[in-house]
Structure 1
Amino acid sequence: MTTLRIDASARHDDSISRKLTDRITRRLGGDVIHRDLAKTSPPLLTEGMIGSYFTPPADRTAEQKALIGASDAIVAELQKADTIVIGMPIYNFGVPAALKAWADLAARVGVTFQYSADGPKGLLEGKRAIIAVASGGTESGSEIDWATPWLTFFLGFIGITDVKVITADQLNVEAETKIEAAYSDIDTLAA
C-alpha cells in the first residue's frame, strides 16, 4: 500500500495537523510519499500552464513541459497512492494558500477528471482520503468552516469519494480534549 501524505501547515514542530498526519501514516503503514507544501510550495497557476494543459502532449514544447512539470509530479503522486492523507489547518476560515495551489495543479481535465454530457467525472476512483483538520477557533463542519467542505468536494471532483475527516478543532478553547479525541479516531482507522 502506498500513502501520499500532504502537509499544508506553515508550522512544523508545533503543528497539530502534522502530528495528526504523523500518527495516521504510522497507523496505516506501507510506503509513504511525503509532500510538504510549506517546504516546497507549488507554483501558482498561470496562463502559460493552462495553455500547456490544453496542448496535446505530443505537441508540447520543452518550455510547456517545464511549465507543467510540478503539476505532472503532483498528478503522478495521486495516481500512485492508494490513500491520500492531508493535514489541513484552517487559516482565516479557509485552506492554506499552498493547499489551494496544490489543488489547482492536481485538477487536470482529461487526466484527473473529465467532462461528459452527464457533467464532470473524477478519474482517480478507488482511492481513499483522510483529512486531518486542525483549527484554533473554527468548529469543523460549522457554518464558518469553508475549508473542510471545499476539500471534500474537490477530492470527490477528481474521483476520491471515500473521505474520512478527523478533527482537532477549536484548539484555542479545549486543545487537550480535542487532540485526544482525534488520536482516538486515528487509532480506529483500518490499515
Structure 2
Amino acid sequence: MSTVLAIHASPRGERSHSRRLAEVFLAAWQARHPQSRLTRRETGRALIPPVNEAFVAAAFYPEPDARPLSMQADLAFSDELVGELLGHDLLVISTPMHNFSVPSGLKAWIDQIVRLGLTFNHTLDNGVAQYAPLVQGKKALIVTSRGGFGFGPGGELESLNHADTLLRTALGFIGITDITVVAAEGEESAERTFQISVAEAEERLLALAREF
C-alpha cells in the first residue's frame, strides 16, 4: 500500500477526535513508508457539491464519449474525485457519526464517486438491473468517533449505526470490500471513559500502520 487517500469528514478542526485519531495512523504509516504518497481531501470543512439534475443527466448520458462540453463541465469535479480514488491504494476516511449516519459532506463525496462506467457498471438481465463493481485491489480504513456507547458490532445500539453500514455498502458496491473500522465511543460520557476508548483506538491504529 504505497499511496494513501485521506478523506476528512468532520466539520470541526483541532477539536475533532476522528481527525486526530486518523493522524495517529497516518503519521505512523508515513514513518514506516517514507517514500509513500499521501493525498488529503477535505469534505467536512470544504464544500462538496451535492448531486443535482445536471450531474444526473451528464452521468447517465447514453453516449459517454460524446458528452457535450457543458456536460463534461458538470462532471469535472466528480471526475477529479474519482481519479483521486482510483489513483491510491489505501482509502482512509475519518468521520464522526452525525445523527446515526455520516456528515453531509461525506455523503456528497460518496454520491460524486459512485459513477456509472467509472466505479461500477450496470446491465440488464431479462429486464432486471445487474450491477458490477469496477474498483479493484484497494483497502479502506474508517476512523470514526461516536458520542455514545454500544454502536459497534454486538452493541445494544448497533441497529442505530447507519454510518458504518452506509460506508461499507457504498464502498462495497464499487468494489472496496477489504474494510477496517476503528472507533472511539463515549465522547458524551465521563471524560475518563472516553479517554480509555480513545487510547484503545490509538493502539489499534498503530498496529494497523504496521500491518498495512
TM-score band (shorter)? over 0.9
Report deviation, 1:138.
5.3
- 1:168 partnered with 2:184: yes
What does residue range 79-158 of structure 1 map to in structure 2 within 5 Å? 79-116=86-123, 117=125, 119-137=130-148, 139-141=150-152, 142-158=158-174
TM-score w.r.t. structure 2 length?
0.85
* Aligned residue in 2 for 1:47: 53
Residues 17 and 133, structure 1, Cα contact 8 Å, conserved in 2:
yes
> Of 167, 183, 186, which residue of structure 1 is paired with 2:205?
186
Distance 1:93 1:138 in 2: 12
Deviations 1:124-165 (A, max 9, x none): 121000000111125333121111111111110110000000
Query: What is the correspondence of 1:18-97 to structure 2 with a 5 Å cutoff?
Result: 18-29=19-30, 30-55=36-61, 56-97=63-104
Distance of 2:200 and 2:12 partners within structure 1:
21
3-state secondary structure, aligned to 2:57:
helix
Q: Distance in 1 between matches of 2:99 and 2:150?
A: 12
Cα contact 2:18–2:144 (8 A) shared by 1: yes
Q: In structure 2, give the amino acid aligned to 1:148.
A: D
Higher Cα Rg, which structure = 2
Any unmatched runs of 5+ in structure 1?
none
Q: Does 1:11 align with 2:18?
A: no
Cα displacement string for residues 33-55 of structure 1 (whole angstroms, at most 9, x for unaligned residues) = 10011232211101111111122
Equivalent residues, number: 191
Preserved CA contact (<8 Å) 1:138 1:144: no
CA deviation profile, 1:49-95 (whole Å, cap 9, x unmatched): 11111223332222211111111011001100100000010011111
Quote the Cα distance in structure 1 between the aligned partners of 2:164 and 2:151.
Answer: 7
What secondary structure does 1:153 align onto? Answer: helix
Question: What is the RMSD of the two structures over their aligned residues, measured on CA atoms?
Answer: 1.5
Farther-moved stretch of structure 1 (75-84 vs 114-123): 114-123
Unmatched segments (≥5 aa) in structure 2: 31-35, 153-157
Counterpart amino acid of residue 78 in structure 1? L
Give 4+ residue runs of structure 1 displaced > 4 Å after superposition. Answer: none
Alpha-carbon separation, structure 1, partners of 2:194 and 2:149: 13
